[in-house]
Amino acid sequence: MKFADILPSSAGTLARGFAAGSLFTLAASTAAWAQETTTEAAEAAAPVMDKGDTAWMMTSTLLVLFMIIPGLALFYGGLVRSKNMLSVLMQCTLITAVVMIVWVLWGYSFAFGGSTSPYWGGMGKLFLSGVNMDSTAATFTDGVVLPEYVFIAFQMTFAAITPALIVGAFAERTKFSGVMLFMILWVTFVYFPIAHMVWDGAGLIFNWGAIDFAGGTVVHINAGVAGLVFAIVVGKRLGIGKDNMAPHSMTLTMVGAAMLWVGWFGFNAGSNLEATSNATLAMMNTFIATAGAIVSWSVVEAITRGKASGLGAASGIVAGLVAVTPACGTSGPVGALVLGLVVSPVCYFFVSTVKSKFGYDDSLDVFGIHGIGGIVGAIGTGILVAPYLGGTGGDDFNMAAQVWIQIKAVLVTLVWSGIGSLVIVYIVKAITGIRVSEEDERIGLDLSAHGESAYHS
């Protein structure tokens, strides 16, 4: 017997109406709750795009551009003789512009095109196919994304600065047309595949578990090796060892180095892809490793030469920045300081001793600082990530295993860049030539290649 059946008829009618209404209300409420829960679950599962992250990545992208123009251009420009100042500025500027175009047309696809290949990204995003204002790129946090356009732009500046770094190795003697052709081929067949191997989820080196937070292998070792290869093939500058090859403006070089340091915060902290505490770790490490490298380079110079120089301090800035690049997001600050203190003596040895011993003319020490500094940083990353050294590694961290992975990543980069650069430089030599005439070299590339001078008396 139901509860309503034992009531008087009028009361029973009321009860039955109440019961029916309650059931309807309960059903409606349940449906509404279910719909709300489903909506909340969908919202929870939907990727989140944070305006702060997007703004930070836009800022970081501009900071990396600032590293190239004017930072790197002025740093290199001050180091060459005055008759070659504009040639360096022009090479840095045109390389940046041309590589940006290449990146949009095929570079982004070759690096991050969605292919499952461990060596290249495929052709799925040629001409930025499928990219629009609604498309997104993943970050290091599950469920947090960025507009794909800002990821494309950020990575584009990395693709632009890497070949620009190579310019310093063959400065003052190389044909402008040969430089431009070399860079187009080099980013296509060397840089984009290495960027894919190291940073793409399908990449060979990425899946080994190698750590390269901001480009120790992709940018610095890669550029350093390419610069060494090109410098050896193109030959030494006329008058090397006889003529005065001193920097024509240490003021410009120091200003450029300072700009590089500022811009590098976008390079390193921006590689976190989010404005989180890990980005602040990368920022802190970029400060302290660089400071350590400046001091240690100056101390080594004071011991070996009797004086610390502005050129040494500027070189220390770059060496420290290079070394901390792969480690900045995983090392503790004290570890970053140690890395900075260690890298400068190693780079100084290569710049002052090894280069003269083997007789190659790496004009502005691209290999000695970027190549060697990148190797020190990449291998050092495998040590400094240890949690008991202040790094971010987990409880199951195995230093020996991680260091071996880092060494393998370095070796692959050395071989890929070395062989690829050698083949490309000989192709360019056959097509356009790579060296200017002796007369043009003596006049200076500013006048002979560009018809203008940086300075007028």
pLDDT digits over 142-199, tens only? 999 999 999 999 999 999 999 999 999 999 999 999 999 999 999 999 999 999 999 9
Residue 35 above 70 pLDDT? no
Parallel, antiparallel or unpaired: strands 144-147 and 48-49: parallel
Q: Is 173 found in the same domain as 318?
A: yes
* 37 and 184 share one domain: no
Same domain, 26 and 66: no
In a domain, 241, yes or no: yes
Q: Which of 143, 159, 158 is nearest to 53 (CA)?
A: 143
CA distances from 102 to 71, 96, 105, 132, 182 (A): 22, 10, 5, 19, 13
- State how many domains the chain has: 2
Q: And the tokens for 202?
A: 């399908």
**Same domain for 181 and 280:** yes
Residues 12, 101, single domain; the answer is no
One domain for residues 137 and 191? yes
Do residues 65 and 30 share a domain? no
Q: List the strands of the sheet with 136-138, edge to edge.
A: 48-49, 144-147, 136-138
- For residues 143 and 23, membership in a common domain is answered with no
Q: Do 256 and 228 lie in a common domain? A: yes
CATH number of the domain where residue 421 is located:
1.10.3430.10
- List, in sequence order, the alpha helices (H) in 67-191: 73-79, 85-102, 108-112, 148-166, 176-186
Q: Answer whether residue 455 is part of any domain.
A: no
Q: Is the per-residue pLDDT at 29 higher than 60?
A: no
The average confidence (pLDDT) of the chain is: 92
- In sequence order, which residues have a C-beta less than 8 Å from that of residue 229 and are 6 or more positions away? 417, 418, 421, 422, 425
- The pLDDT of residue 36 is 53
pTM of the model: 0.89
What's the confidence (pLDDT) of residue 15? Answer: 34
Residues 329, 391, 289, 405, CA torsion sign? negative
Higher pLDDT residue, 395 or 45?
Answer: 395
Q: What is the dihedral of CA 441, 442, 448, 450, to 10 degrees?
A: 80
- Tell me the residue range of the domain where 211 lies: 52-450
Cα separation, 415 vs 194, in Å, equals: 11
> Does the residue 457 lie in any domain?
no
Same domain, 419 and 346: yes
At 353-383, the pLDDT tens digits run: 999 999 999 999 999 999 999 999 999 999 9
The token duo for 27 is 């059903």
pLDDT digits (tens, 9 = 90+) for 254-312: 999 999 999 999 999 999 999 999 999 999 999 999 999 999 999 999 999 999 999 99
Question: What share of the chain in percent tops pLDDT 70?
Answer: 90
**Local structure of 145: helix, strand or coil:** strand
In a domain, 155, yes or no: yes
Q: Are 381 and 211 in contact (CB under 8 A)?
A: yes
Shared domain for 24 and 122, answered yes or no, is: no
The verdict on 36 and 153 lying in the same domain is no
Nearby residues of 109 by Cβ (< 8 Å), 6 or more positions away: 121, 122, 123, 124, 125, 126, 129
Tell me the percentage of the chain whose pLDDT exceeds 90. 89
Looking at residue 70, what is its pLDDT? Answer: 95
pLDDT above 60 for 51: yes
198 domain-assigned:
yes
Task: Give me the pLDDT at residue 422, please.
Answer: 99
Residue 278 within any structural domain of the chain? yes
pLDDT in tens, 325-350: 999 999 999 999 999 999 999 999 99
Is residue 257 within a helix (H) or strand (E), and if so which, with residue range?
A: helix 250-269
